[in-house]
Chain A
Amino acid sequence: DGGITQSPKYLFRKEGQNVTLSCEQNLNHDAMYWYRQDPGQGLRLIYYSQIVNDFQKGDIAEGYSVSREKKESFPLTVTSAQKNPTAFYLCASSDRGTYNSPLHFGNGTRLTVT
């Protein structure tokens, strides 16, 4: 079955360490996205990519970095510059732009930084 795989499901890190969250899709979608979700909050866009080797900052990109070297992969690095990294991170993809194409989400990675 096609879908989006995020790994790991839970991740624990010490403050000051960089950490990379994995996101792989086999839906053959062009666009991929990273969202952050805090308790009781909506989803906030971190980065998105509409094509390989190109990506754009979202609303809260500071302290994060991404790469899109392959169509199916869009890893997110949470750097030590991110002041409050503990959150639930969701990766998504869409076939085309979000005007008329739904987002397909992965099951998320819950990151805890202490």
Chain B
Amino acid sequence: QQPVQSPQAVILREGEDAVINCSSSKALYSVHWYRQKHGEAPVFLMILLKGGEQKGHEKISASFNEKKQQSSLYLTASQLSYSGTYFCGPLSGSARQLTFGSGTQLTVLP
């Protein structure tokens, strides 16, 4: 079953903050986050692992609440380059591969 992302779309001014949420109906082992610009390939942002470990390489933070089966992506002081569609990909114990949400379209305006 596909995870639920919210909001579906958000428009920001440069420098503002945003939070994107991802909820799953299944117990999670890890959560991936990717950003995709129009017509391009998704780009890896972060992996959050059960137990709190994070693996990522961008100036974006995230949280992973195992009990609530939720993850949130925090974009602070947004830049124009942050525009794109953000996808979460939770990995549950019953699934062997990622199931992606339908995405959150983020637009950062000057």
Contact = CB atoms under 8 A, between A and B. Distances in A.
Interface of A: 33, 35, 40-45, 48, 56, 58-59, 90, 97-108
Interface of B: 2, 29-30, 32, 34, 40-44, 47, 49, 55, 87, 89, 91, 96-103
B101 A100 contact: no
Nearest to B53: A100
> Most chain-B CB neighbours within 10 Å: which of A41, A42, A48, A104?
A42
Contacts of B29: 99
A59 B1 CA distance: 10
A100 B2 contact: no
A56 B95 CA distance: 12
A100 B98 CA distance: 11
Contacts of A105: 41-43
B2 A103 contact: no
> Most chain-B CB neighbours within 10 Å: which of A43, A56, A97, A105?
A43
B2 A42 contact: yes
Nearest to B49: A100
Contacts of A90: 41-42
13 contacts: A41-B102, A42-B101, A43-B87, A43-B100, A97-B96, A99-B91, A100-B55, A101-B47, A102-B44, A103-B42, A103-B44, A103-B98, A105-B42
